[in-house]
Amino acid sequence: MMNLKRIFLPFIIVFANSVFAQQEPVKTQFEGYLFAYFEGKSDPMKREHLRFATSSVGLKWKALNNNLAVISSDTISSTGGIRDPHLLRGEDKGFYLVATDMKTFKDGWDNNPGIVMMYSDNLVDWKHQVINLEKSYPKKFKNVKWVWAPQTFYDTKKGKYLVYFTVRYHHNDKLDFYAAYANKDFTGFESEPKLLFSPKYGGIDGDIIFDKGVYHFFYKGNTKDAAGKEFKNGIKVATSASLWGPWKENEGYVDSYADTSTVVEGSSIFTLNNSDEYILMYDVYAEGRYEFQRSKDLSSFTQKPESFTKNFDPRHGSIISITKEEARNLDRKWGGVMPELVQPTKKNDRYVFQSKGNPIITHHYTSDPAALVINDTLWMYTGHDFEGGQRDYVMRDWLVYSTTDMKTWTEYPVPLKVVDFEWATSKSAFAGHVAEYYWYISTNWTGIGVAVADRPEGPFKDALGKPLLTNEDCFASTHSWACIDPAIFIDDDGTPWIFWGNRECYYAKLKDNMIEIDGDVKQINFEGFSFTEAPWVHKYQGKYYLTYATEFPEKIAYAMADIIEGPYEYKGILNEIAGNSNTNHQSIVEYKGEWYFLYHNGGIQTDGGSYSRSVCIDRLEYNEDGTIKRIVMTSEGIQ
C-alpha cells in the first residue's frame, strides 16, 4: 500500500507556506512627504486656507498650486478660515485631517467655535464637517472661548480615532487638552469630549506619538513664578503608559530657544522614511521661520536648530509620508509636486498626466523639444533644466514623453544621461533630436554625440564611444560652443541629413548607418540670414523649410528652398520672443493631419526663467502660398 502521508505532507507544507506568504502584509513603500499648513506672509485675508507642499527627503520643500490654497477655507469652515491643520494617515488606508475653525484676520482672537474634521481616500477628494463644541455640547462647553489646534491619533487598543485639542473658557484662563473618539464616518464625536491632559501651567498645540510602549505628548508649555507670572515657555513633553494618562510632565524644555527671547509653537513630530530618526519641527512664529531638531529616542534632541529649504512661509502644520502614486495624484490635481516624486524610475513604470495648457509639463523644467511621430503616437524628447530659479544651464539628462491626443501625456523613465557619454567631459546635456531610434545630442564644447535604442522610449546608449561632430568640424567658427543643437531631416528618398551650429549653421549628409558623416561638412548662408542656433528642417508641399533661432533674446525665423541644400530665401519672423526666456528652440511636426509648433519659454510660475524653461505647444498654419503664419503663443495651448 502506498504511503499517502509521505506523498501529501510535502504538498501540504508547500501549500501552507504559500498561503502564509500571500497573507503577509505588504509594507507600504514611501517615496516622499506631504506637508499640510496655512500661510504666514501672504495677503492676510488669504493666509488661513489649507495648503500642501511635498518633499522627497523631508527637509527640502516645494508648495503645491503655486502656494495658493488647495482647498479654500470658506468652503469647509464656519468662520471662513482654518489654522493648524493636522494630517494623519489612517490604519484603514484613508486620510484624516483636522484644523482649527478660525479666521483671525477677520474676527480676531477673542473666540472660535470649534474645529473642522475632514476625510479622504486619496488626499485629493475631501469630505468635511464643522464641529461646534458650544452648540453640540452646551452643558460642558457653553462658555468656551478657544478650541485650538486639533489632532488625530489612532488608538490601537480601541480601534478608534481619538481627536484631541486645546480648550480655554471665557471664565478661566487655563489651557487644557480635551479629547473624544470620532464616529465611524469621521463627521463628529461618539460622545462629549473629556479632559485628556491638564498641564500644570497649561498648554497648547499638542502632538502625541507612541514609541517603545510609551506615549509622548509634545506641546507648548510654560513656567510661572510664585505670583503666577510666566517667565519661560517653549516645547515641553509629557509621557504616559496609557493614551488617556495620567501624564507625567518632564522637567525642562526640548526646543533650543526656551532660555532665549525667541518664542516657538506648533510643534509636530514625524519620522524620516527608512530611518529611525525623528524630526521635531516647530513654528518660530514671531520671526517667520520654521525650524526643527532631530532625535532617535524622543528624549534627547540635537541642540542646534536647522531650517527647512522651502518656497513658502508655513505656519503651524503637520507632515506625513506618501507613496509615489499618492504624489502623482496630488500633482495631477494641483501641480507643483517635487519632480523626483512623480518621475518614473523603474523599467515599466509610467506617469500619465493631463496637460492643462501651456506649459504642458509643470512638474519638470523642460526645454529644446524635439518631436517624432511613429504611427498614431507623437513622441517628444526634451532637455531638462534641473531646478527652478537656476542662474546657469544645469542640465544632466534628457526626458521623453508621448501622447496620442495632445492632451494626455505619458512620461517614461529617464532615457539618457550625459554621463552615458564617457567622452562628454563638459557634463552638459544640451539640445538633441531623435530619428527612429537614434538620438543626436549636444554637450556644449565637447561635441555632438549619437545614442541608439531599440524602442522610442529608450533606454538609449552611446552608439559611437566618441563624438560624431566636434568644433573641428565647425570650420567657420572660433567660439567653443559652436558644435551644438543637432537636427535631423530624413528626405523622401530616405537620405538622412544633419544640421547644427551656433552663430554659424552647418549641415552634412549622414550615411545610411546614421552614425557617420557622408562627405563634406557645409555651411548655410543667404541674404538676411541672422543665425543664432536651433536649426530645424521640415518639408511641406515639396518645399523645404529651415527654421532657426535668431538674435538675442531669440526669436524664431524661417527660410524656404526648393532643394534641401538651398539656396534658401529668408521669409521672416515666425515666433516672437518667448515669455520670460532669452532662448527659444523649436520643432515642427505634422500629426494626425494638423501641424504643431513646439517651443519653450520660462512660463512656470514662480521659478521659471531663461535657465528654468518649460515646453509649450501651439498650432502652426500655412498661407495659401506656402508661407507660414505667425505663431500665436497661447496659455491655453492645444484644446
Please tell me the predicted confidence (pLDDT) of residue 12: 41
485 and 525 in a common domain: yes
User: Residue 593: is it exposed, middle or buried by C-beta count within 10 angstroms (0-12/13-18/19+)?
Assistant: exposed
317 and 353 in a common domain: no
Q: Report which residue type is found at 459.
A: P
**Cα-only R_g, the chain:** 31
Is residue 74 in a domain? yes
Tens-place pLDDT, residues 422-457? 999 999 999 999 998 999 999 999 999 999 999 999
Is residue 12 in a domain? no
C-alpha cell at 523: 555651411
394 and 328 in a common domain: no
Please tell me the predicted confidence (pLDDT) of residue 25: 55
Is residue 496 in a domain? yes
Does the annotation count 368 as an active-site position? yes
Nearest to 379 by CA among 589, 178, 550, 80: 589
Residue 15 vs residue 275, higher pLDDT: 275
Please tell me the predicted confidence (pLDDT) of residue 197: 98
Is residue 7 in a domain? no
What is the domain-level CATH number for residue 582?
2.115.10.20
Please tell me the predicted confidence (pLDDT) of residue 1: 40
pLDDT band at 26 (very low <50, low <70, confident <90, very high): low
Please tell me the predicted confidence (pLDDT) of residue 558: 98
Please tell me the predicted confidence (pLDDT) of residue 168: 97
Instruction: Say yes or no to pLDDT of 101 above 50.
Output: yes
Tens-place pLDDT, residues 218-269? 999 999 999 989 999 999 999 999 999 999 999 999 999 999 999 999 999 9
Please tell me the predicted confidence (pLDDT) of residue 18: 46
Tens-place pLDDT, residues 472-527? 999 999 999 999 999 999 999 999 999 999 999 999 999 999 999 999 999 999 99
Choose the final residue of a domain: 297, 332, 367: 332
Does the annotation count 31 as an active-site position? no
Instruction: Say yes or no to pLDDT of 105 above 50.
Output: yes
357 and 285 in a common domain: no
DSSP string of 366-435, one letter each residue: EEEEEEEEETTEEEEEEEEE-STT-SS----EEEEEEESSSSEEEE-S--EEGGGSTT-TT-----EEEE
Instruction: Say yes or no to pLDDT of 6 above 50.
Output: no
Choose the final residue of a domain: 332, 360, 391: 332
356 and 324 in a common domain: no
Is residue 338 in a domain? no
Is residue 196 in a domain? yes
Please tell me the predicted confidence (pLDDT) of residue 577: 97
Share of the chain above pLDDT 90, in %: 93
- Mean pLDDT (the chain) is 95
Instruction: Say yes or no to pLDDT of 70 above 70.
Output: yes
Options 101, 265, 368, 485, the catalytic residue? 368
Strands (E), 525-586: 533-540, 543-550, 555-561, 569-575
327 and 180 in a common domain: yes
140 and 91 in a common domain: yes
Cα–Cα distance for residue pair 280/45, rounded to 1 Å: 29
Structural domain tally of the chain? Answer: 2
Please tell me the predicted confidence (pLDDT) of residue 501: 98
614 and 583 in a common domain: yes
Give the range among 25-39, 322-336, 480-494, 590-604 with minimum mean pLDDT.
Answer: 25-39
Please tell me the predicted confidence (pLDDT) of residue 398: 98
Tens-place pLDDT, residues 151-184? 999 999 999 999 999 999 999 999 999 999 999 9
Please tell me the predicted confidence (pLDDT) of residue 449: 98
428 and 297 in a common domain: no
Please tell me the predicted confidence (pLDDT) of residue 9: 42
**What is the domain extent for residue 616?**
348-629
Choose the final residue of a domain: 303, 332, 361: 332
383 and 293 in a common domain: no
Please tell me the predicted confidence (pLDDT) of residue 639: 87
Please tell me the predicted confidence (pLDDT) of residue 427: 97
Tens-place pLDDT, residues 114-127? 999 999 999 999 99
Cα–Cα distance for residue pair 469/326, rounded to 1 Å: 44
Instruction: Say yes or no to pLDDT of 23 above 80.
Output: no
313 and 352 in a common domain: no
Please tell me the predicted confidence (pLDDT) of residue 8: 43
Averaged pLDDT, 18-28: 55
Averaged pLDDT, 124-138: 97
H or E segment to which residue 196 belongs: strand 194-197
Instruction: Say yes or no to pLDDT of 21 above 90.
Output: no
Which DSSP state fits 446?
A: G
Averaged pLDDT, 121-149: 97
pLDDT band at 20 (very low <50, low <70, confident <90, very high): very low
Instruction: Say yes or no to pLDDT of 470 above 70.
Output: yes
Which whole-number Å values give the CA distances from 383 to 325, 327, 485, 542, in the listed order? 25, 23, 11, 31
pLDDT band at 93 (very low <50, low <70, confident <90, very high): confident
Is residue 14 in a domain? no
pLDDT band at 27 (very low <50, low <70, confident <90, very high): confident
Share of the chain above pLDDT 70, in %: 96
Tens-place pLDDT, residues 188-199? 999 999 999 999
Options 462, 485, 504, 533, the catalytic residue? 533
Please tell me the predicted confidence (pLDDT) of residue 345: 96
249 and 121 in a common domain: yes
Is residue 1 in a domain? no
CA dihedral 604, 606, 609, 611 (to 10 degrees): -90
Cα–Cα distance for residue pair 52/329, rounded to 1 Å: 13
Q: Report which residue type is found at 37.
A: Y
